[in-house]
């Protein structure tokens, strides 16, 4: 069974609510591709207007973060049921910027993954090594740990529907993309890790994205790799070029 590609934008901390709606209007006609699941990951304050602007289109909306508690005294955090009520379908969890600047641990990310699943939100769980780790030759050891802890207590049935984003930190926002071979090697390694935790059927279904300086020029080659099921796109998701990335096979 061929896995359906999933191409998600990660807007990060960009776009005011009114800018966000204008960007959706620009991108809407450009991201029509019936072969691909299209997702816009947007800042929390943009979620409501972006969901509204995406009504009746092929675009699903993702949050960029979420807390793992139901509700209560967690000033500044966003609860899963708030996202569900607002029409969010996916949530980006464990992005390297959140791990680095906001000290999120694999254990925190695991709690968030479990909570998102409980509420019917699909996690896009991020992993990826630093340049130092790559140079030390411990890329796969590090990523296996992130994936194994991130997926603790997630059942095979639940894992099948998840999305994992492999994003080498050295390739994020640097214009320095991993080669398609480098990206494929790690995505294949992640799939093997899933097969070890669960089974081959689960590994065959889970979707694994590549992220890190994906652009209109390199998307087709990356997405043609056997174990790369689409991309998580930062900078280029804010531009009309995102349409070319989504329509990489046209
Ligand atoms: P980039 O970001 O495409 O700007 O490198 C990717 C990401 O951080 O998800």
Instruction: Report the distance separating Cα 198 and Cα 156, nearest Å.
Output: 6
- Antiparallel, parallel or unpaired: β 59-63 and 90-93: parallel
Instruction: Report the distance separating Cα 10 and Cα 210, nearest Å.
Output: 12
Closest ligand 1 atom, residue 97 Cα: 8
Domain assignment of residue 148, given as a range? 5-246
Instruction: Report the distance separating Cα 148 and Cα 154, nearest Å.
Output: 10
> Is the Cβ–Cβ distance between 202 and 195 less than 8 Å?
yes
Instruction: Report the distance separating Cα 211 and Cα 234, nearest Å.
Output: 8
- Closest Cα partner for 50 from 78, 80, 81, 9? 9
**Considering its fold, how many domains does the chain have in total?**
1
Q: Measured from the CB, is residue 168 less than 6 Å from ligand 1?
A: no
DSSP state of 222: H
Closest ligand 1 atom, residue 235 Cα: 4
- Closest Cα partner for 87 from 69, 60, 68? 60
Contacts of 72 (CB under 8 A, 6+ apart): none
Instruction: Report the distance separating Cα 101 and Cα 92, nearest Å.
Output: 16
Closest ligand 1 atom, residue 126 Cα: 9
Output the six-digit token pair for 33: 């591709």
Query: Distance, CA 189 to ligand 1 centroid (Å)?
Result: 21
Report the CATH number at residue 199: 3.20.20.70
- Antiparallel, parallel or unpaired: β 163-166 and 5-10: unpaired
* Active-site residue, from 95, 97, 129, 184: 95
Tens of each residue's pLDDT in the chain, 250 residues: 689 999 999 999 999 999 999 999 999 999 999 999 999 999 999 999 999 999 999 999 999 999 999 999 999 999 999 999 999 999 999 999 999 999 999 999 999 999 999 999 999 999 999 999 999 999 999 999 999 999 999 999 999 999 999 999 999 988 888 899 999 999 999 999 999 999 999 999 999 999 999 999 999 999 999 999 999 999 999 999 999 999 999 9
End-to-end CA distance of the chain: 21
Instruction: Report the distance separating Cα 99 and Cα 105, nearest Å.
Output: 6
DSSP state of 170: G
Q: Measured from the CB, is residue 10 less than 6 Å from ligand 1?
A: yes
Query: Distance, CA 71 to ligand 1 centroid (Å)?
Result: 30
> Is the Cβ–Cβ distance between 151 and 195 less than 8 Å?
no
Query: Distance, CA 169 to ligand 1 centroid (Å)?
Result: 9
pLDDT at 2: 87
């Amino acid at each position: 069974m061929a896995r359906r590609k999933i191409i998600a934008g990660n807007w990060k901390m960009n776009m005011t609510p009114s800018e966000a709606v204008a960007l959706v209007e620009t991108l809407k006609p450009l991201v029509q591709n019936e072969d691909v699941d299209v997702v816009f990951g947007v800042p929390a304050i943009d979620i409501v207007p972006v969901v509204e602007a995406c009504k009746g289109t092929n675009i699903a909306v993702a949050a960029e973060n979420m807390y793992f508690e139901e509700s209560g005294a967690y000033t500044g955090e966003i609860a899963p049921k708030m996202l569900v009520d607002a029409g969010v379908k996916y949530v980006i969890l464990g992005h390297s910027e959140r791990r680095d600047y906001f000290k999120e641990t694999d254990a925190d990310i695991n709690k968030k993954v479990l909570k998102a699943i409980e509420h019917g939100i699909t996690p896009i769980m991020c992993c990826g090594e630093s340049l130092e780790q790559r140079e030390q030759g411990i890329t796969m050891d590090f990523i296996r740990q992130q994936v194994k802890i991130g997926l603790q207590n997630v059942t095979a049935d639940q894992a099948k529907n998840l999305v994992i984003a492999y994003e080498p930190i050295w390739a994020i926002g640097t214009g320095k993309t991993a080669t398609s071979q480098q990206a494929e090697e790690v995505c294949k390694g992640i799939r093997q890790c899933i097969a070890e935790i669960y089974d081959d059927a689960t590994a065959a279904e889970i979707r694994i994205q590549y992220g890190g300086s994906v652009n209109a020029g390199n998307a087709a080659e990356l997405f043609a790799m056997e174990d790369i099921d689409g991309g998580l796109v930062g900078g280029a998701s804010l531009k009309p070029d995102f349409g070319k990335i989504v329509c990489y096979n046209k």
